[in-house]
Every structure is written in structure tokens, then in C-alpha cells.
Chains A and B, each alone.
Chain A
């Protein structure tokens, strides 16, 4: 689980991560995840009482950016044993503490969260920007009504008045604004932040998400391109670009559709090129090619000839088939996929085979 971004928590109720707004690291990591199979009965396996710091850390790392409730719960249950470890004051320890704070907040274990936060602020001081943001996350997650959230927001404003360069708090404030349904304000604040620091990929990807939510697709695409300038190998951003251009193609006027669909197809292909075995990428390739092969586009001018589109479609089908069967049989190299995504791929394949 990445703890680097302050975005990942929503404010009220239990925080969760916005879908696919994270950025993968520059190197395409393997999609294979051998440590935590999503379907394994993680809930019933008691952790051995004496695990080392590194073991705990690897357990946290094995969980994806958007953990399922059961994964969160199993991690959150580690809280007492982690808190009982002696404090070694190593970077790993504090990373673990941060992840633990987020997990305990997700599952509603506020007492543990309080304790973790206390230890973090004891070590780094209350005025540390990061600790302040974590404190903010705690306040947001534990507030039960709208008025309390407004209070937290006011707090953020005060902090920022004193120190406008406190980036973690700025990000928290933007997320909170967005959550309180002040979307235009959130977008304005985020653009202001990006004017200050245009080399933060996380901000750009979040802005893309906000623009996407209000259906401003070309702006969203611009923002994602900006992310690519910072992280040229982020394959999930490529796939996201494909998704957004595909959706934008639907709403664009006649004549432009094929052009946009082809752009979308190319983004998806690039995602697949950067990371083979990327399910979202192949799903997109299959979906877009199927759409391009529809009879209403047969007369349109296209830059990718129809036979190639056909071939690409079958390539995607083969790969998706591999992934789905591999995942179902729990074959080595095919674990770690999101079960929901695999199910969607299966549905797509079945719909395809029944129609043809």
C-alpha cells in the first residue's frame, strides 16, 4: 500500500481511494502478486505472535492501493501487535506506522489510530507538515457530521494562512473541498497549487479525476498528459487516457468519433506495451477495437486499417482469455488481479462469443 499520497483518503465515513487515480511507479511492476491472493482466507489466518518489522511491512506492501474491506480488516487487526513492538526509530518503522494509521481509520479502529498518531507526533512534532496532514486525516475520518467537517476545513485555512507552502495540508484541504461538494473551489485550489508546483504528478492525476467527474474530458486528458511528462512509463495513466478518450469519443460530434477511438486504442496499446499482462489495457483494446469494427464506421476514414484492428481484437481476446482462465485456476503468474476486473473481462469475453 502506498502511503506517499495524502489524497488517498476521502473525508467522511471510512476513507477510500478514488479509483485508479494513483500513479504507478516509473518501472512497470509485475502484475503478479504472489504474497496475497485475494481469495485466500486472509481473515482466518492468525499472524504468528512474533513477526518482525520487515514482515509487517511486507504484509502492508502486498496489499494494493485500494484494499478491499477484508484486506483492510486483516491489516487493521495487526495493530496491537505492531504497537507492542519496541520503537526502533527507523524509517521503516514510521512508514509502517503511517500505513497502520490509514488502515485503522478505514476499519474504524479509532483508538489505535489515535495511539499511532500520538506516537508519530511525539517523534516528529506537531508542526511537521506530514504529521499535520495525518492529524487532518484523523480529524476528517472521526468527524460525524457536516459541521465538524467545516470546522476541520477552517482549521486547514488557518494553517495555510500562516504557511502557504504546506503542501500536504493544501492537498487535504482540496480533498475536503471536493468532498463537501465544492467541486469548482477544489479545482480552482488545485490549479493554484499546480501553478506553484507543476512537477507533482499526483496533483495532475487528481485534477484529471476532478475534471473527468464534471465531464471536462479535454482538460482531463491535458492533465494526464502532464503526468506522462513526469512519469513517462506510468502504464496505468496510459490506460486511463485511453478510457477518457474513449468516453470523450461518445460525446464528440460525428466524424470525430473514429479519430478519438483510434487515439484511445493507441493509448491502450501503449499501456499494454509497457506492461504485458495488464488486464485493464487488454480490456480496453478489446472494447475499443470492437467498437471500431461496428458497421456504422465502415465507411469512415481511418488511419489504422480494418484488418489490423481485427487482428488486435483477437490478440486482446487471447490475452484476456489467458488471464481469466489463469486467474480462475490460480495459476502461477496470474494471481493478484482484482477479482472484479477479472469478472468484467469474463463478461466481455462471453458477450463477444455469444454475439459472433
Chain B
């Protein structure tokens, strides 16, 4: 397709004041509003009860022992290892030791998991509702407007990105339609929000997506719903048991010190 060089379209300057500018402002304001609404809707994570804390911390204890085993003498390590392997195997740190042989509970019926899912849903709703409304608004009022011209040339590939809602085949890619401007704002305002609201804002949807990907990172829960602590414990016991290599860091320290002088 031959591009018309210097394609000219006469635009009403009012397009800038009545479409481009309002869309941008509305997008920023919704972002800010969304941030505060999310803050309001967020329920504080429920504090864990002592049994759950015990279950998690004793698991971490085993991991600590495994990673820093070389810091303590072999005899100390062996006694700890034997104790932990026996305790892990017997399941004495589990929240409910009877559940050890049962099938893992359905995450949907787990009240903790429900809580988490409820939070996730709230977050999702905060994204979906305003986006639907604004997109509907733009489609109803501004569809089909060409509102600005980019100051640089682009390849044809960008046409679908920059000119959605305008079905003109021969128009230069540099022209941007209102709907596309909306999308650009939706994905591109991140740094603006960081500037306005600080680093950990919930206005930007990419952040929310990242959080959805690994929901366990921000919560206190070490064992997510659906994970079976009993299995994780026995796996850790196995890890400890197969550790054969132990190099005490204090071995030969006198030579190391003398070598540095």
C-alpha cells in the first residue's frame, strides 16, 4: 500500500479540548479513585492463630538448618537433624495432626482460601467495572474521531493499535483515534500514577496483574490454600536426611587467619 506522504486532514482544534484532554483527565482521575477505593475495600489479612504460626515457623526452622548447616559443628547439626527429621516425620508441628493422612481439603471450602479469593475478586472488580464504564462512554460519545497526529512516522503494523474504531484503510498510521488514545492511556499512565500516588499504588492495572500472578508473596500465608503442609514437611524431612556433606566453617580457621597476616 502506498502511503500518501504528508497526508493532510483538517482537524477542528476543539477536538483537542473536548476529546483528547477529557479522556486523559478522566483516565488519570479514575486511576486515583481506583487507588483509594481499593485501599478502602482491602480487608486486613487475618492474623494467624498460634497453631498456624507454629506450623509455618517450624517449617522455616528446618530450611534454616539446611541452608546454614555449615555454621555449626557436625555433632550439633546431627542432633538437630535427627530431632527435626523425627518430628517432621511424625507430623508433630502440624496444625491438625489427624489430617495428615486425609486428602487435602478442597481450597474452595477452606475459609482462609475463601478470604484470599474474596480479596482477589474485589481487586478484579475494581479493574473491570470502571474500565467497562469508561470504554462504553468513549464508544458512545467519541467513536470514530481522529484526534491527533503523532510527530513521527510508524510502520503499518501500528495501524490496529493506533486506529481502532476507525475503519479507514488508507489513512496514515500517524493518526490516532479516540478509542486508541484510551488504550494508550490505560497502559501508559503507570509512571504518572507512580508520580502522583507513590510506588505502591493500586491504580495501575499491570501492578495488579503481577500481584495476581503470585498472590502468596504479599500475604502471611506460607502454605497457600490447596497445599498440603504434611507433604511439605515430609519433603523437607527428606531434604534434611539426604544432606551428607557438612563442612564446618570453623575447620582450618586458624590457617585462614594466619594466611591473611
Note all chain B residues with C-beta closer than 8 A to A196.
50, 53-54, 57
Inter-chain contact count A-B, CB under 8 Å? Answer: 69
In the bound assembly, the distance between CA atoms of A299 and B50 in angstroms comes to 55
In the bound assembly, the distance between CA atoms of A330 and B175 in angstroms comes to 71
Q: Is the CB of A273 within 8 A of B253?
A: yes
Residue A47 at the chain B interface, CB threshold 8 Å: no
Main secondary structure of the interface of A (DSSP, over half): helix
Chain A 85-116 interface mask (CB, 8 Å, partner B; 1/0)? 00000000000000000000000000000000
In the bound assembly, the distance between CA atoms of A265 and B50 in angstroms comes to 41
Given A273-B257, A315-B261: A165 touches B49 (CB 8 Å cut-off):
yes
In the bound assembly, the distance between CA atoms of A110 and B142 in angstroms comes to 66
In the bound assembly, the distance between CA atoms of A352 and B107 in angstroms comes to 70
Note all chain A residues with C-beta closer than 8 A to B65.
229
Residue B150 at the chain A interface, CB threshold 8 Å: no
Query: Which of A9-17, A208-216, A304-312, A341-349 is near enough to bind chain B?
Result: A304-312
| B: number of interface residues (CB 8 Å) | 27
Q: Is the CB of B54 within 8 A of A266?
A: no
Cβ-neighbour of B257 out of A228, A263, A269 (below 8 A): A269
Residue A140 at the chain B interface, CB threshold 8 Å: no
Chain A 140-165 interface mask (CB, 8 Å, partner B; 1/0)? 00000000000000000000000011
Residue B108 at the chain A interface, CB threshold 8 Å: no
Cβ-neighbour of B72 out of A197, A225, A308 (below 8 A): A225
| A: number of interface residues (CB 8 Å) | 26
Q: Which of B23-52 contact A (CB under 8 A)?
A: 47-50
Given A165-B49, A312-B254: A198 touches B61 (CB 8 Å cut-off):
yes
Residue in B48, B54, B61, B257 whose Cβ sees the most chain A Cβ within 10 Å: B257
Residue B64 at the chain A interface, CB threshold 8 Å: yes
Cβ-neighbour of A315 out of B60, B249, B257 (below 8 A): B257
Residue A267 at the chain B interface, CB threshold 8 Å: yes
Cβ-neighbour of A228 out of B48, B49, B68, B256 (below 8 A): B68
Note all chain B residues with C-beta closer than 8 A to A311.
258
Residue B58 at the chain A interface, CB threshold 8 Å: yes
In the bound assembly, the distance between CA atoms of A182 and B58 in angstroms comes to 28
Cβ-neighbour of A229 out of B48, B68, B261 (below 8 A): B68
Q: Is the CB of A229 within 8 A of B71?
A: yes
Q: Is the CB of B254 within 8 A of A304?
A: yes
Note all chain A residues with C-beta closer than 8 A to B47.
165
Query: How far does the Cβ of B113 sit from chain A's closest Cβ, in whole Å?
Result: 21
In the bound assembly, the distance between CA atoms of A164 and B255 in angstroms comes to 49
Chain A 195-213 interface mask (CB, 8 Å, partner B; 1/0)? 1111100000000000000
Cβ-neighbour of B258 out of A165, A225, A263, A308 (below 8 A): A308
Note all chain A residues with C-beta closer than 8 A to B61.
198-199
Residue B117 at the chain A interface, CB threshold 8 Å: no
Given A165-B47, A195-B54, A197-B57: A312 touches B71 (CB 8 Å cut-off):
no
Q: Is the CB of B254 within 8 A of A269?
A: yes
In the bound assembly, the distance between CA atoms of A225 and B65 in angstroms comes to 10
Chain B 219-261 interface mask (CB, 8 Å, partner A; 1/0)? 0000000000000000000000000000001100111111001
Query: How far does the Cβ of B81 sit from chain A's closest Cβ, in whole Å?
Result: 12
Chain A 293-320 interface mask (CB, 8 Å, partner B; 1/0)? 0000000000010001001100100000
Residue A230 at the chain B interface, CB threshold 8 Å: yes
Query: How far does the Cβ of B141 sit from chain A's closest Cβ, in whole Å?
Result: 41
In the bound assembly, the distance between CA atoms of A198 and B256 in angstroms comes to 32
Q: Is the CB of B64 within 8 A of A199?
A: yes
Return 13 A-B CB contacts under 8 Å, by A number: A164-B50, A165-B50, A198-B61, A225-B72, A225-B76, A229-B69, A229-B72, A230-B64, A266-B253, A270-B250, A273-B253, A273-B257, A315-B257
Closest 10 CB pairs of A and B: A198-B61, A266-B250, A228-B71, A225-B72, A197-B57, A269-B253, A229-B68, A232-B68, A232-B71, A229-B64
